[in-house]
Chain A
């Protein structure tokens, strides 16, 4: 991204924090005297402390504790950590039931998280327009204008929650996955309860795909919105299919060539490096082979849909084919196509849940593999809702975590989000009065990535949004407060 060396004659626009993303971030724009964007930065200050949070804990507690890193995707952290500690106890292959239970748990989490993002966070922008009335552009507005759609979103999330509760025994912070397997079986009663609603879930997710496909293909202005060209990183299975739980890493270049394929994720440090920049606590990962200037990449639904050769479930595969046909078989680079890709994955999750609930192994009781082997290092990788998630632990003789390294999905998308912010700023910020609608265009670009800034703190009384326009002389030219109730004060 362009770094401006001559900042003294620039004015600064700050959007702090971004709304309707999980957590808090800030966008700053530096405009020159002609109101042209010279520099755009997305500042995220959240991931500091993850490793410290984990250090010193007994390895067997880690899958439980990491759920507290994030209120939106605790299950993803739980499973990534569980895969890492499987290695610490020398378990390479779980029992069929344990692996299927983990997959079912993961599909429930992804379905729930994706449903939240579309129905709750992004549909207001997509249905009402990026610059529409703020008071209406939210989930309540969707409930008012599209009650049927909104209720389906609510029920989809509820269903995902029911899966999580049925498997972990708790709504949050359950103890499902443990080193070498799972700690409890799924009861027939719970399985049957989940089966009661699966056909509705399939139907609603198919409708969500159709809606997103229609929104994206029929709005030409969305195709180039926040448009960037990037490489993609995701996991695929041994045959190249979309894989959310376990597989090899595949990186696809801007031109569609495979940079690497079926790479064992335990060697991730060979292929990914992380750059630190002074103005953000969040690192900037890049593919080692391509270098830090050209090696940045995108992860998440858009990456997964572009990288995989096929999807193993029929309805999602049909949707994937239409998705790729949209780009004439090439890569779909449209940033707003993240939403469409996300719903295709939601449909895939629904189909996979359907199949697993009908699988005779799913209520089995053979849940654990025991091994006498002890290892000092474990690496677990999973495709979380927002993208590839890495958990890496090194333990000491006492079994306490000595070192931890996490690369969360949003970190992988860091540079891409910055590039998208700049693209939107170039196109829409013209130096006129800063309006909420105008600024929301920037936020729409960031929200497409569904960034998780891991700020589950929600204590009342915080100021959620502050916008400042600072003139070249350093004085405040304009200021905008967006309060926690959504009211705007200038």
Chain B
């Protein structure tokens, strides 16, 4: 498909892709962090927010130097974990649970080349009921990520580019 106004022709170097349902408690962690990063107006960072990863999201990965997926996680250590991920053929078969690794694999099989380097920022969440707001503990974890981003402030690009976010 050719480019059009809804799909910018030259994507920014870094893609931050946060996902989760803002109406389901701690599932809002991904979208909340994306909202924060957007306020920083970083010239090399594009933010995307969605409820879940879908196969068509492979089209968002093209032309990037780095991709950072951001999601709530029920099993990681608090406050967050940040690690590189790679394409993996799994069977994320539920429509709402295509994993980032499976998305990278789908990219590879579709375009015949590896996706750009990708990282996963998992923020520990605890409760996911419809209508709930962020839990207190999740707020604390989100605050820890924001604090780290604030320390780097205007040099957030460097933070992402050099992978200086560590747990």
Contact = CB atoms under 8 A, between A and B. Distances in A.
B31 to A, nearest CB: 9
B95 A20 contact: yes
A375 interface: no
A49 B25 CA distance: 13
Contact of B59 (A121, A154, A171): A154
Interface in B39-75: 48-56, 58-59, 71-75
Nearest to A154: B56
Contact of A140 (B2, B7, B76, B106): B106
A346 interface: no
A74 interface: yes
Interface stretch (A160-168, A234-242, A269-277, A396-404): A160-168
A166 B97 contact: no
Contact of B92 (A159, A166, A486): A486
Contacts of B2: 196-197
A21 B94 contact: yes
Interface in A143-179: 143-144, 147, 150-151, 153-155, 157-159, 161-162, 165-166, 171-173
Nearest to B130: A49
A1 interface: no
Given A197-B4, A200-B1, A484 B99 contact: yes
Contact of B24 (A74, A120, A192, A456): A456
Given A457-B27, A461-B76, A139 B106 contact: yes
Mostly, the B contact residues are: loop
Contact of A22 (B88, B95, B131): B95
A266 to B, nearest CB: 27
Given A23-B96, A464-B97, A53 B23 contact: yes
B109 interface: yes
Contacts of B21: 68, 71, 456-457
B114 interface: no
A165 B19 contact: no
A20 B95 CA distance: 6
Find the residue from B20, B26, B51 having the highest chain A CB count within 10 A.
B51
Nearest to B112: A147
Given A69-B130, A456-B24, A460-B73, A153 B109 contact: no
Contacts of A260: none
Interface in A58-82: 65, 68-69, 71-72, 74
Contacts of A129: none
B90 interface: yes
B5 A166 contact: yes
Sorting the interface of chain B by its residue count into under 10, 10 to 19, 20 to 34 or 35 or more gives 35 or more
Contacts of B106: 139-140, 143
A228 B129 CA distance: 35
Given A140-B109, A162-B7, A456 B93 contact: no
Contacts of B73: 459-461
Contact of A158 (B22, B59, B96, B130): B59
A462 interface: yes
A162 B6 CA distance: 6
A193 interface: yes
B105 to A, nearest CB: 6
Contact of B75 (A19, A52, A171, A460): A460
Interface of B: 1-2, 4-7, 19-24, 26-27, 48-56, 58-59, 71-76, 88-99, 102, 105-106, 109-110, 122, 125, 128-131
Given A140-B91, A155-B56, A458-B96, 18 more contacts: A50-B130, A71-B52, A135-B91, A143-B110, A150-B55, A151-B110, A154-B110, A155-B59, A158-B59, A172-B51, A196-B2, A456-B23, A457-B20, A459-B72, A460-B76, A461-B76, A485-B92, A485-B99
